[in-house]
Amino acid sequence: MKILIVIALAVLIQENHATLVIKGPTKSVVAGESVEIECLYTDSEFNISQVRFEFSYDEGSIWFEVYERSTFCALVVYRTSERLVLRLRAYSYRMSMYRCVSEAENVTAPNNASEPWALKVEFMSDLTLSKEGYTKYLGIPKELSVRPGDDVVLTCSARSSEEPSYFWNKEGSDWNLPSATMMLRKVSKADEGQYSCTAQHPLVESLSKKSSVKIIVLEEDAPWYQSTDGRLILMTSASVAALLVLLLSMTVFLCRRAKRARTIKGPIDDHSQKKPIYKSSSESLPSSCEDKHPLV
């Protein structure tokens, strides 16, 4: 058994023996920080001058060359006599795999490429608040007017490299809710105030985002359309109505035009009678419109 392990270990060491080595930060880096990745040959028999960097968006199924002269993207590649160095600013989109590859013809596997190395960037962005029953596409306004007795459910979420911890608090009170979702049941005037949600990255203390919303509770006799939800309904129905009117007037206009064209064309063009009329062709359009919109 012991011998087997020793043999397995020896095989492993043999296979991992790559002379082209890539090195980078051993811990994950925080978005915005500068990162240095370097390649070197552990064996002086090989020359670094024909080595370049490559990166992959996934686990290394497709590799792309890192162009040394791309000043775009805040990226610098330089060489010393023994090293090839890549310096870049860490961003969330730069989370990817890197490796070094030799272009020299007389260098073969495994010396022509390093092991892949993964850049892990910790980041947090785009904290958004959403309200149950309110469209996700608009984002909720900074001031929410609600009717007394309504339930208010607000959820906050951030884009982050690790699932953040969330908490809600209310300005001027020591109320604190350790959750992404805040639920106010049957709101009354006492619930009015400025509420904030904070998202905290679990590994990096400096990565945190905060967003707040003011909740205003309307009077008992306030009409429904004064609430934020009511205003949204009103706005949506107004746009739908405007769209319908537009569609209707366009249909009427097109029908009239088509009918006029037919009455002019009719007596002159004798062949029109012999032509088959397809259901979807423009010539079948006037008759179908005529039924619905008499033009007298």
Ligand X SMILES: *[C@@H]1O[C@H](CO)[C@@H](O)[C@H](O)[C@H]1NC(C)=O
What is the per-residue binding string for ligand X in 8-47, x denoting contact by CB under 6 A? -------------------------------------xxx
Contacts of 113 (CB under 8 A, 6+ apart): 18, 20, 99, 100, 101, 102
And the tokens for 162?
Answer: 């690790």
Name the residue among 228, 210, 192 with its Cα closest to residue 156: 210
Residue 68 or 229 with smaller CB distance to ligand X = 68
Q: How far is the CB of 106 from ligand X (least distance, A)?
A: 4
Give the residue, chosen from 96, 112, 227, 228, that forms a contact with ligand X under the rule CB under 6 A. Answer: 112
Which part of the chain contacts ligand X (CB under 6 A), choosing from 33-41, 98-106, 132-140, 146-154? 98-106
Backbone dihedral region of 186: left (phi > 0), alpha (psi from -120 to 50 degrees) or beta? left
Give the residue, chosen from 14, 108, 173, 280, that forms a contact with ligand X under the rule CB under 6 A. Answer: 108
Q: How far is the CB of 40 from ligand X (least distance, A)?
A: 11
Give the residue, chosen from 106, 206, 273, 280, that forms a contact with ligand X under the rule CB under 6 A. Answer: 106
Does position 107 interact with ligand X (CB under 6 A)? The reply is yes
Q: How far is the CB of 41 from ligand X (least distance, A)?
A: 9
Number of H helices, E strands in the chain: 3, 18
CB atoms within 10 A of CB 111: 18
Does position 61 interact with ligand X (CB under 6 A)? The reply is no
Does position 113 interact with ligand X (CB under 6 A)? The reply is yes
Residue nearest to ligand X (CB): 108
And the tokens for 231?
Answer: 């205003």
Which part of the chain contacts ligand X (CB under 6 A), choosing from 105-113, 118-126, 145-153, 185-193? 105-113
Residue 77 or 101 with smaller CB distance to ligand X = 101
Residue 44 or 280 with smaller CB distance to ligand X = 44
Alpha helical stretches, state H, the chain: 2-16, 228-265, 285-292
Does position 81 interact with ligand X (CB under 6 A)? The reply is yes
Distances in whole angstroms, Cα of residue 9 to Cα of each of 3, 47, 128, 164, 239:
10, 30, 51, 40, 71
And the tokens for 155?
Answer: 């959820």
Residue 68 or 150 with smaller CB distance to ligand X = 68
Residue 53 or 166 with smaller CB distance to ligand X = 53
For residues 25 and 19, what is the distance between their CA atoms, to the nearest angstrom? Answer: 19
Q: How far is the CB of 63 from ligand X (least distance, A)?
A: 7
Query: 34, 88 in Cβ contact below 8 A?
Result: yes
Query: 122, 30 in Cβ contact below 8 A?
Result: yes
Does position 117 interact with ligand X (CB under 6 A)? The reply is no
Query: 33, 122 in Cβ contact below 8 A?
Result: no
Name the residue among 156, 143, 148 with its Cα closest to residue 231: 143
Does position 97 interact with ligand X (CB under 6 A)? The reply is no
The contact set with ligand X (CB under 6 A) reads 45-47, 49, 81, 101, 104, 106-109, 112-113
